[in-house]
Amino acid sequence: MGQGEEKPEEITQETRLAALRQAFKERFGLLPQFISRAPGRVNLIGEHTDYNGGFVFPVAINRTVLMAVAGPEEGAPVGQVRIISKDYDKEAVFNLNQLDKAPEAERWTNYVRGVAWALGQRGLLAPGSLPGARILLESNVPQGAGLSSSAALEIATALALFRLAGFPASAVNRPQVALACQLAENGFVGANTGIMDQFISALGRTDSALLIDTRSLDYRAVPLGFADRSLKLIAVNSAVPHRHDASGYNQRRAECEEAAKFLANFYGKPADSQLRDFNLEELLGVEDKLAPVPFKRARHVITEDARTLKAVELLEGGFANPADLATFGRLLGQSHESMRDDFEITVPQVDLLVELAWNLPGVIGARMTGGGFGGCTVNVVETASVEDFREKVLLEYRQQTGLDAKMYIFDAVEGGTILE
Ligand code: ADP
Ligand code: MG
C-alpha cells in the first residue's frame, strides 16, 4: 500500500457483503432479510451555496454504509430495535415507539433514531407501525472527514425502514426521504446542515455528478465521463480535524442572511430573498453600502453559484472546445480562492494541499471541499499523473506540516439501494 493511501476499494463490495452477512449470522443466529446501502459524497463545486438557495454539484462515492437488517427477535417488545455498529463494536437498544435522544455513550444511534423520528414527523412513515428490527451496520466512509458518513448512515436507515414497512424501493420518494434525513440531522442530532449530503446519498448516479437546485430541489445527473477522458477524482484528507464547535458555520450562515436581507431591501425584492436571487452586478451595486464582511461572504456565494453552473455547462457540452477542460479546472481553483479569501473557511494546511496539487502537471483542478476549517480537498487529475500526485503532494505535505494526509480515488456511484 502506497504511503498515505487507504485502499479499501480493493476490498470489493461482494467481500464486504459476505463478511457482513456472516457477522450478522454469528451475532443474531440468522441471516439478514436484506442489506441497505448508501454512499458518502464529495462535492465537486458549489460550496456553502446550499443554505443560500443555490446550486451544488456533488458526487456519490464508492464508500458506503452497509446495514444488514432482520425483524426483531422473538419475544422482544413491539418496536424494539437492537443495533450494532461493527466498526465501533458497540450495541444499543431503543424503541421506535419512544424515540428519545440517546445517552452520550450511544450518541451514534441518534442518526438512526433521528431518521425514524423524522420520517414520522414528515408523515412519510409511522415508526410505531413497525415491529422492530435487528441491525448490524458497517461502513467504509471515513468519519468526520467531510465525506458525509452521517448522511450515508441516515439514508441507509431510511431505506431500511421503508423496506421493513414493505415499500418497494421504487415507491420511495427520494427527495422527500432526503429532506426527512436532513430534518433528522438538524432537529434530532442537532447539526445545522443543508440538504446536499442527504440528497446526493439518496439520488446519486453512476459516473455522474448531480446538479441540485437546493431551493426547488430540481436536479439532474451530469455524466462526468472521467474514464473516457483518462481522469481520476481524488480526495485528500488533510488530517486537520474539523473544528468541533459549529460557530464558524453558523456565523457564515448569519452573515449570508444579513447580506441577502440588505440586498432585498435595497432592490425592493421580497424579504425572504436569498443570495441565490442576486447577481454579481447587483452585489457590486451595494459595495460601498454593505458592511465588508457580509459583502465578501455574498461575493463568494454569488460567484460560486455562477461557477457551478458554468462547470456543468462545460461538462454537458462535452468539453467541445479544446480549452474547456482547463477552464473547468480553473473554476475549481477559483472556487478555492473564493473560499479562502472571501468566505474565509480554509485553513493553511488545506491551502497548502491545494497549492501543492496545482503545482503538479497533470492536475486539472483542485479545491477544498465540504464545510471547511479542515477536512478534504477534491482534485481532478489525469490518470497518468496519479502516482506522481501521491508521491509529491502527500510527501511534501508531510514535510511541511508533519501531518499524514490520506488520499482516496473515488468512482461516482449510485445513491442508496436495497440489496436483497
Ligand atoms: P461526517 O458526516 O463528515 O463523516 P459527522 O460528524 O457529521 O461527520 O458524522 C460522523 C458521525 O456519524 C460519527 O461520529 C457517528 O456518530 C456516526 N457514524 C458514522 N459512521 C458510523 C459507523 N460506521 N458506526 C456508527 N456510527 C457512525
Ligand atoms: Mg456529517
146 pLDDT tier (thresholds 50, 70, 90): confident
6 pLDDT tier (thresholds 50, 70, 90): low
pLDDT above 80 for 10: no
Same fold, 13-223+413-419 and 231-410: no
pLDDT above 60 for 245: no
Among 153, 154, 197, 369, residue to substitute to test ligand 1 (most atoms within 8 Å of Cβ): 153
pLDDT above 60 for 409: yes
What pLDDT was estimated at residue 9? Answer: 56
What pLDDT was estimated at residue 388? Answer: 95
Is the distance from CB of 3 to CB of 395 less than 8 angstroms? yes
Inter-axis angle of helices 324-341 and 348-358, nearest 10: 160
195 pLDDT tier (thresholds 50, 70, 90): very high
What nine digits make up the cell of 135? 441491525
What pLDDT was estimated at residue 349? Answer: 96
Ligand 1 proximity of 85 Cβ (cutoff 6 Å): yes
What mean pLDDT is reported for the chain?
95
What pLDDT was estimated at residue 241? Answer: 73
Is the distance from CB of 57 to CB of 43 less than 8 angstroms? yes
Query: Which tens digits make up the pLDDT trace of 334-357?
Result: 999 999 999 999 999 999 999 999
Please count the residues of the chain: 420
What pLDDT was estimated at residue 2? Answer: 41
Query: Which tens digits make up the pLDDT trace of 256-309?
Result: 999 999 999 999 999 999 999 999 999 999 999 999 999 999 999 999 999 999
The residue behind cell 419512544 is 98
Ligand 1 proximity of 338 Cβ (cutoff 6 Å): no
Give the pairing of strands 132-139 and 80-85. Answer: parallel
Closest ligand 1 atom, residue 146 Cα: 3
pLDDT above 50 for 64: yes
pLDDT above 60 for 128: yes
Instruction: Using a CB cutoff of 5 Å, list residues around ligand 2, an ion.
Output: 150
Angle at 188 (CA atoms; ends 376, 141), nearest 5 degrees? 30
User: Amino acid identity, residue 4?
Assistant: G
Find the mean pLDDT for residues 79-92: 97
User: Amino acid identity, residue 408?
Assistant: Y
Three-state SS at 157: helix
Residues involved in catalysis: 197
111 pLDDT tier (thresholds 50, 70, 90): very high
Domain boundaries, the chain: 13-223+413-419, 231-410
Q: What is the DSSP letter of 290?
A: S
Tally the C-alpha atoms within 13 A of residue 124's C-alpha that lie toward its C-beta.
24
For the sheet containing 376-382, what is the strand order? Answer: 363-369, 376-382, 231-237, 406-410
Question: 387: part of which helix (H) or strand (E)?
Answer: helix 386-401
DSSP 187-250: III-----SHHHHHHHH--TTEEEEEETTT--EEEEE--TTTTTEEEEEEE---PPPSSSHHHH
What nine digits make up the cell of 93? 437498544
**CATH code reported for the domain at 13-223+413-419:** 3.30.230.10
183 pLDDT tier (thresholds 50, 70, 90): very high
3 pLDDT tier (thresholds 50, 70, 90): very low
What pLDDT was estimated at residue 8? Answer: 55
Ligand 1 proximity of 139 Cβ (cutoff 6 Å): yes
Among 106, 150, 182, 198, residue to substitute to test ligand 1 (most atoms within 8 Å of Cβ): 150
User: Where do the H-state alpha helices sit in 342-385?
Assistant: 348-358
Query: Which tens digits make up the pLDDT trace of 247-270?
Result: 788 899 999 999 999 999 999 999
**CATH code reported for the domain at 231-410:** 3.30.70.890
Q: What is the DSSP letter of 412?
A: B
Inter-axis angle of helices 110-121 and 174-183, nearest 10: 120
Which of 11-15, 35-39, 83-87 shows the lowest per-residue confidence on average (mean pLDDT)?
Answer: 11-15
Closest ligand 1 atom, residue 197 Cα: 2
